[in-house]
């Protein structure tokens, strides 16, 4: 089973960025644990702060991978382009957020990903990614 985790803007700063919201673990440390926890999954990880690179990656893997776990971060709330890319490919996408975006500012209540995602998991910290992986197994 081939699964890619795609993280959007500012998620390269996990561990340093607003730890009261996003926690103090780096994604790299968490990713190592995730790989140990799901040894049968062939993982790929991609992070970009650039919308077009996220779209390019979805197009690149979206006809051959078994699943995409996508935290589009701030682009969740703005990107018609990422939503269209998800619609264009055949690989199912699970939308993930570390924080419960519905508890936060009103502009974070809108998602261009949710209507085209297989499912949405949010608010469980980094464990949201575990739950998304499990949904594909
Ligand atoms: C986030 C929530 C978004 O609103 C925010 O812009 C992020 C991270 C989350 O994982 O909680 O960068 O996607």
> What's the mean pLDDT when you consider all of the chain?
97
pLDDT for residue 58: 99
pLDDT-based confidence at residue 28 (cuts at 50, 70, 90)? very high
Ligand 1 binding residues, C-beta < 6 A: 10, 71, 73-74, 76, 97-99, 101, 108
The number of the ligand 1 atom at minimal distance from the alpha carbon of 72 is: 13
pLDDT-based confidence at residue 64 (cuts at 50, 70, 90)? very high
pLDDT for residue 96: 98
Whether the Cβ atoms of residue 65 and residue 3 lie closer than 8 Å to each other: yes
Q: Which two tokens stand for residue 22?
A: 């996003």
pLDDT for residue 87: 98
For the residues 50-63, what does the mean pLDDT come to? 98
pLDDT for residue 122: 98
Q: What angle do CA 3, 55, 1 make, to 5 degrees?
A: 10
For ligand 1, atom 1: residue with the closest CA: 73
Q: Which of 101, 109, 122, 128 to mutate to test the pocket of ligand 1 (most atoms within 8 A of CB)?
A: 101
The number of the ligand 1 atom at minimal distance from the alpha carbon of 77 is: 4
pLDDT for residue 36: 97
For the residues 78-87, what does the mean pLDDT come to? 98
Whether the Cβ atoms of residue 71 and residue 11 lie closer than 8 Å to each other: yes
pLDDT for residue 84: 98
For the residues 87-101, what does the mean pLDDT come to? 98
Whether the Cβ atoms of residue 29 and residue 57 lie closer than 8 Å to each other: no
The pTM score is: 0.97
The number of the ligand 1 atom at minimal distance from the alpha carbon of 73 is: 13
Q: What is the pLDDT of residues 101-113, one digit of tens each?
A: 999 999 999 999 9
């Amino acid at each position: 089973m081939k699964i890619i985790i795609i993280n959007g803007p500012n998620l390269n700063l996990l561990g340093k960025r607003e730890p009261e919201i996003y926690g103090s673990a780096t994604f790299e440390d968490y990713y190592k644990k995730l790989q140990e926890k799901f040894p049968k999954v062939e993982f790929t990880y991609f992070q970009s702060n650039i919308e077009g690179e996220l779209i390019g990656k979805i197009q690149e893997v979206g006809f051959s991978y078994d699943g995409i776990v996508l935290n589009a971060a701030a682009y969740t709330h703005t990107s018609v382009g990422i939503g269209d890319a998800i619609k264009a490919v055949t690989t199912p996408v699970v939308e993930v957020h570390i924080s419960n975006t519905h508890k936060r500012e009103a502009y974070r209540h809108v998602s261009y990903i949710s209507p085209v995602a297989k499912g949405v998991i949010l608010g469980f910290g980094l464990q949201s990614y575990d739950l998304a992986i499990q949904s594909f197994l």
